[in-house]
Amino acid sequence: MAMPQQYVQEATLAGKDFIDFADFTPEEVYHLLDLAASIKYKQKQGDVYQPLKGKTLGMIFEKASTRTRVSFEVGMFQLGGHALFLSGHDTQIGRGEPLPDTAQVLSRYVDGIMIRTFSHQNVIDLAKYATVPVINALTDLHHPCQVLADILTLKEHHGSIRGKKVAYVGDGNNMAHSWLVAAPLFGMDISVASPKGYLVNEEVLHQALVLAEKYGTKVLVTEDPAEAVAGAHVVYTDVWASMGQEAEQAERLQAFAGYQVNEELCKHAAADYLFMHCLPAHRGEEVSAGIIDGPHSVIFDEAENRLHVQKAILVATMA
């Protein structure tokens, strides 16, 4: 991809929350992508870029994290700001303080709030009462930060985004949901293959269908992995049992038999397909070792790009 020579203007999303792709226009999400690419390029050139100098991000974690915590914390440091780790076990949230109270108090201290939690309603409530930007770092319904990093990775490897097809195979979870909504905004087709009982949320699917009709893209939801993967430029999967679903592990292993992303399934994809996974991964379950560690895999590029897209989100909303 062409490397930008200067930073994209930051202020487009100033003061706006980053909760769900459905809240944005194609122009806004492409702006974030271009800003992330420019920040990444200039950083690798050794440029010091600190538009958030003197600003603080409050980071609320109710779910365990590796990539999310490290990338946001490092990102704020590199942008000149400071990040505060706020565990649900160590704050009054863990003792039942209402989120509206937390939102209003934190807004008096920090310049932005990031939250990684279970219920999507928690993010909505936090944003409703906070007077600073709120960033959704993951809920059970959506994971927009990860998908933005995935799309930056696709752009880096394939140059263009529009007209590409993404196939998601596995649990109809937050990753599937964010891809369903994001793909039409970026001019991409999206297909999702899941077994009965683990299909995507119907309200999210309706949102995706409306956006696809508006922007001229295609959405497919099927129980057939081969149908979903046919001609795909990206083959995507996630663990079959996410955090909080450990008790369902045995049941899910049985339900998802036949949904593994492996060499046989990927024969249906485009010759130059990319394999993606949000990590952590279980080799031998949702994906074979030969695929995730093979030549089409870009999982560590995705992981790195979490840093760059989150820096773009921070700058765009807080600068």
Q: Is residue 306 annotated as involved in ligand binding?
A: yes
**Catalytic residue of the set 111, 306, 308, 310:** 306
Q: Give the number of C-alpha atoms closer than 13 A to the C-alpha of residue 285, restricted to the C-beta side.
A: 20
**Catalytic residue of the set 143, 177, 277, 308:** 143
Cis peptide bond prior to 133, omega within 30° of 0: no
Is 116 among the catalytic positions?
yes
Q: Is residue 116 annotated as involved in ligand binding?
A: yes
Q: Is residue 279 annotated as involved in ligand binding?
A: yes
Write b or e for each residue in 99-118: b if 16 or more Cβ atoms lie within 10 A of its Cβ, otherwise e.
beebbeebbeebbbbbbbbe
Question: Are 275 and 294 in contact, with CB atoms under 8 Å apart?
Answer: yes
Q: Is residue 301 annotated as involved in ligand binding?
A: no
**Catalytic residue of the set 17, 140, 238, 266:** 238
Q: Is residue 139 annotated as involved in ligand binding?
A: no
Q: Is residue 95 annotated as involved in ligand binding?
A: no
**Catalytic residue of the set 31, 116, 142, 252:** 116
Q: Is residue 143 annotated as involved in ligand binding?
A: yes
Is 95 among the catalytic positions?
no
Which residues touch 34 (CB under 8 Å, ≥6 apart)?
4, 8
Q: How far apart are the first and last CA of the chain?
A: 26
Q: Is residue 268 annotated as involved in ligand binding?
A: no
Question: Are 25 and 13 in contact, with CB atoms under 8 Å apart?
Answer: no
Q: Is residue 278 annotated as involved in ligand binding?
A: yes
Q: Is residue 243 annotated as involved in ligand binding?
A: yes
| 83 Rama sector, left if φ>0, alpha if ψ -120 to 50, beta otherwise | beta
Is 266 among the catalytic positions?
no
Is 189 among the catalytic positions?
no
Q: Is residue 92 annotated as involved in ligand binding?
A: yes
Is 34 among the catalytic positions?
no
**Catalytic residue of the set 146, 207, 260, 310:** 146
Q: Is residue 68 annotated as involved in ligand binding?
A: yes
Is 306 among the catalytic positions?
yes
**Catalytic residue of the set 20, 252, 278, 310:** 278
Q: Give the number of C-alpha atoms closer than 13 A to the C-alpha of residue 28, restricted to the C-beta side.
A: 17
Please choose, from the candidates 139, 291, 165, the residue with its C-alpha nearest in 3D space to the C-alpha of residue 230.
165
Active site residues: 116, 143, 146, 238, 278, 306
Bind-site residues for L-ornithine = 174, 238, 242-243
| Binding site listing for carbamoyl phosphate | 65-68, 92, 116, 143-146, 278-279, 306
